[in-house]
Amino acid sequence: MKHSHIIHHYWTSPCGILDLASIGEELVMCDWVDGWHRAATLNRLTRLTKLPMVEDASSVIDLAQVQLAEYFDQRRQVFTVPLRLIGSEFQTRVWHALTKIPYGKTISYGEIAREVNSPKAVRAVGGAVGANLFSIIIPCHRVVGANGSPSRAMAADMPPSVIFLRWNLDSRLTSCRSAAA
């Protein structure tokens, strides 16, 4: 079925406003409204899909909101909302690898590069992680630098209220929720 537009809806999480977007019954974006790469993300999404964005509701956006609320309430560790990954073959391999990082764990960019059978492509992995359209749902916040410390890029794509989430990982969301209140 050919779709004529991307439906999007703003959702206020405990850590900031997320823009959720869908095409048909698949989520195509979950992005922080005040993220540093916001304009580039929207431009890339509309350029690659060739569809305009319309603010509205959809059942898959509703499902994403429920699952995100459960995640922020520490009642969900894995997302099951249907996703449409929009990117290059390499990017989609990286994003699939990110979904395999267990809740509360971290992995380095180098480990992801090895996971996608491109051990010398650490910088390209960093670019793909940065191009992730699914903040929280595809857990780029679980990727760290080679020495295990949070990289500068980890905090760069999030609003200030969410940096705590990035640095303290999934198990510390209660503090993030308190800080955002």
Active site residues: 140
Report CA dihedral (8, 12, 165, 139) to the nearest 10 degrees.
Answer: -20
d(Cα 114, Cα 103) in Å, to the nearest integer?
A: 20
d(Cα 18, Cα 64) in Å, to the nearest integer?
A: 11
Pairing of strands 53-55, 26-32: unpaired
d(Cα 109, Cα 116) in Å, to the nearest integer?
A: 11
Q: How many residues does the chain have?
A: 181
Q: Which residues of 143-152 are buried (b: 16+ CB within 10 A; e: fewer)?
A: bbbeeeebbe
